[in-house]
Structure 1
Amino acid sequence: MQDEYFDVIIIGGGINGAGLFRDLCEQGVRCLIVDKSDFGAGTSAAPSRLIHGGLKYLETAELRLVAESTHERNRLLQNAPHLVKPLPSMLPAFSWLRGSWAALRTLFGSTSAPRSRGALLVKIGLALYDFYGSRDRMMPRHKMLRHTAARQMVPALTERITAAGLYYDATITAPERLVLELIEDGVAANPDSMACSWTPLQPREGKYLTFKRPDGSTLNATTRYVVNAAGPWIDTVNGHLGEKTTFIGGTKGSHILLDHDELVRQLDGRMIYFEADDGRICLVFPYEGRVLVGSSDIPANDPDSVSCEADEVAYFLDSL
């Protein structure tokens, strides 16, 4: 099969491309989804393993985004309970009022987050998080703990904390498996559709989109619609399509995994969402018998060459 017509061609087999592929296939649309490597092997395979509702976006007043994200989190808990699980979480505070003025400035258009978040701000934030996450709610609402109760729950917490907020988000054990299941659902719903991994797009010539298959052969395809779902490779794909763009200004978010049985025991299935000394929010939670710590946010323009550097590892360890 050399020349094929598809109603829609989706370039990029991560979670966004796979989700769209499934939805369209279930509506009878003949689709082709391709990826230059394995499905779910890019950004979708390297997240923090959180399915979160965007708590941090409350600080910049992106309320619609929080409402949408929490709803999607709740739906994933319903629709993929074999992969997505509730994650009890704790947000320590080191004062009662710190950060309140910076938070008020967001009401007047400021987009800068507070450097520190006192217990009052944590309480307000978690109450809003509960409110915007009420649609299809699957998990308990938040509650606040004073210093003594918080340290009784997690003795390893520093004595400097004033209080802590307890709330729930969600975690996913294997995000790449969710991607694969969505693609399998799409093919099952519409067997005329195709899913091709390890099939990179070639520079466009003429009316066809040409893809190179793992065996060296090519697939030439035409379509009414092309969806570029290539994530950090969006501009590269656009270049192959004959459009020079600079939509993506890349950043990387690194994480590390620690073998630390005592920390796993102390966390007891919880995530700690905490402030580093520079005010940046970090996270630590148990994952597959180890401890996941993250994340950084560093400019990186080449997604094919990113890695976790030694200074990032040192930052994470110092933050703990």
Structure 2
Amino acid sequence: MQRDLAALTAREFDLLVVGGGVYGAFAFWDATLRGLSAALIDRGDIGSGTSFNSAKTIHSGVRVLQSGNLVLLRRFARERRALMRIAPHLVRPLPFVLPAGGGITGHRLLLRAYFALSDRLTRGMNDGGPEDPASRLPPSRLLSRDECLRLNPLIDPGRVAGGIEWFDGQMRNGDRLHFSAVTSAVERGAVAANYVEADGALRRGEDVAGVHVIDRLTGDRFEIRARVVLNAAGPWAPGLNGRLADGASGALHPRLSKAMNLVIGSPLRGTHAVAGSARGRLFFVAPWREVAIVGTSHDRHAGGPGALALERTEIDRFIDDVREAFPALPLRIDDVRLVHRGLLPAAPGGDGLQLATASAVIDHRRDAIHGLVSLLGVRYTTARETAERAVDAVVDQVGRTVEPCRTATTPLAGGDIPDVDAFVRDAAAEGEGAEPAELRRRLARTYGTRYEALAAELSASPEARAPLSPTCAVTVGEVRHAVREEMALRLSDVLLRRTEAGSAGDPGDEAVAAAARVMAGELAWTPAQVEREVTDLRRVYQLPD
């Protein structure tokens, strides 16, 4: 996949998606799969905005039972199953433990009834794929006090009378998941480009007929023509609507909430994500790769979408909450390897701490504006389904007969794997000795069925299969592959999103320098450019004083 700006100007598209987060990525893939000609642009890298911040959990929505919304519960469960089917190498089952003992977590028998109802309502939706036994989620089960404490050693034993175990999904690599949706569309003839910002609307009379854009790498301006523009720009969406059409500017509520998840060295010895409560809110510590993710906090955000910054007081308050929820976890600021952060739509009229309860899809023909649809998403789990509704609106505007949506069952690029465990075992065993079994195992989990071509490149070149550093297993060849085949243009694109080198914490000076050298050779960076790239990357890991 190459960044081909000329292809964006060569024709009129049925659909232009503005925003390459998970919602825009799935809308782009859906439209392409239905037979529409589609293009996608993002002002930054693919998935570099709100979608980068995620607790990595694909959940069934058990919390919505508290509101009695059974329809929403089943929707969450369907979407969990869909993601486990279309990207089984990237989304795997994860067991959770919730303690019972009063307060927010309730009595253990009430919890048992609560989860039994959830099991019953989602029956038939708990298998990732019919041929993959490891993707089938067992029903919830009641835990004794001793077993709950054994599985969740971080909570206060004095507040525990028992607990419940249930299973949801976890993304090994969420960045690869929505990037795979973009890749899948491009492989079917769609066009995508990062670092291209929509700056205003092309008009056909009163209708929106495309956008004026700026190449943020060169400053060049050009136009992209499209019959419909889908605004999926996340926190930038309300402001973008104001530039595209006056009558659409108030359609999306602009209030934002800052969400954070902490990546820490794992304090967990087992495989379960564990829950604890503080200030009336539920927090989780989940094992993820070789680390753990703690989440999620929400704080008021007073600035615009470009003013997202970490505040030490917010991080300290988050850590205090975690220590209250998990007394056996003496978390300190020095334990934090990375803060995943992003902006989400806050509930209208609230205090800025409560999220909007539902994603929004708006067909702006209601505002007498043709050629524009807006999408503002809330939760990662339901992004695919919300994108489907958005593309339904696009299809209605385009006025064509197209195929029905198939994104819930069509594997993403690399995801056509009937049995993931067997696939990974075979990948590790098929090495010819040039690359270690663990390297092939990691490549299979990251790239799915697409790993073989990359593994062959690494096998043919000792220089390509060399790790970036003794403590960072990602190879020189993976960096080069990201630049040549995956539209990576910045050092952060490679280390934070295309590979696993830096998404779980700072990979270290040696690995950063090695990756920068490879990219400099591929992209003809000057020494000054290398220095800027390294400095920009370092800001991601820097915590405020």
Same fold (TM over 0.5): yes
Percent sequence identity over aligned pairs: 25
Aligned residues, how many?
295
Whichever residue aligns with residue 148 of structure 1, its letter is: D
2:229 paired with 1:229: no
How many Å separate the matches in 1 of 2:225 and 2:196?
A: 16
Deviation at 1:172? Answer: 0.4
Give 1:46's aligned residue: 53
Give 1:60's aligned residue: 67
Alignment of 1:300-315 (within 5 A): 300-301=301-302, 302-308=304-310, 309=314, 310-315=316-321
Give 2:274's aligned residue: 272
2:179 paired with 1:173: no
Give 1:220's aligned residue: 223
How many Å separate the matches in 2 of 1:152 and 1:313?
A: 23
Query: Is the 8 Å Cα contact of residues 100 and 106 (structure 2) preserved in structure 1?
Result: yes
Whichever residue aligns with residue 161 of structure 2, its letter is: T
**SS of the residue aligned with 2:142?**
strand
Give 2:296's aligned residue: 295
Structure with more helix by fraction: 2
Give CA deviations for 1:126-171 in whole Å, capped at 9, x if unaligned: 1122123223322000000121232234444432201100000111
2:12 paired with 1:23: no
Query: Is the 8 Å Cα contact of residues 151 and 272 (structure 2) preserved in structure 1?
Result: no
Relative distance call for 1:72 and 1:172 in structure 2 (3 A) is same
Alignment of 1:133-148 (within 5 A): 133-138=122-127, 139-148=137-146
Whichever residue aligns with residue 118 of structure 2, its letter is: Y
Task: Choose which of 104, 120, 133 in structure 2 pairs with 1:131.
Answer: 120
Relative distance call for 1:132 and 1:298 in structure 2 (3 A) is farther
Alignment of 1:137-216 (within 5 A): 137-138=126-127, 139-160=137-158, 161-189=160-188, 191=189, 193-204=190-201, 206-207=203-204, 208-213=210-215, 214-216=217-219
**Uncovered stretches (5+) of structure 1, i.e. residues with no partner:** 99-114
How many Å separate the matches in 1 of 2:22 and 2:213?
A: 21
Query: Is the 8 Å Cα contact of residues 83 and 172 (structure 1) preserved in structure 2?
Result: yes
How many Å separate the matches in 1 of 2:89 and 2:196?
A: 30
How many Å separate the matches in 1 of 2:62 and 2:254?
A: 24
Whichever residue aligns with residue 142 of structure 2, its letter is: M
**SS of the residue aligned with 1:237?**
helix
Task: Choose which of 313, 322, 326 in structure 2 pairs with 1:316.
Answer: 322
**SS of the residue aligned with 2:73?**
helix
Give 1:250's aligned residue: 256
**SS of the residue aligned with 2:307?**
coil
Query: Is the 8 Å Cα contact of residues 145 and 164 (structure 1) preserved in structure 2?
Result: yes
Q: Structure 2-normalised TM-score?
A: 0.51
**Uncovered stretches (5+) of structure 2, i.e. residues with no partner:** 1-5, 128-136, 205-209, 327-545
Deviation at 1:297? Answer: 2.0
Q: Structure 1-normalised TM-score?
A: 0.85
- Over aligned residue pairs, what C-alpha RMSD do you find? 2.0
Query: Is the 8 Å Cα contact of residues 98 and 105 (structure 2) preserved in structure 1?
Result: no
How many Å separate the matches in 2 of 1:116 and 1:170?
A: 21
How many Å separate the matches in 2 of 1:201 and 1:68?
A: 32
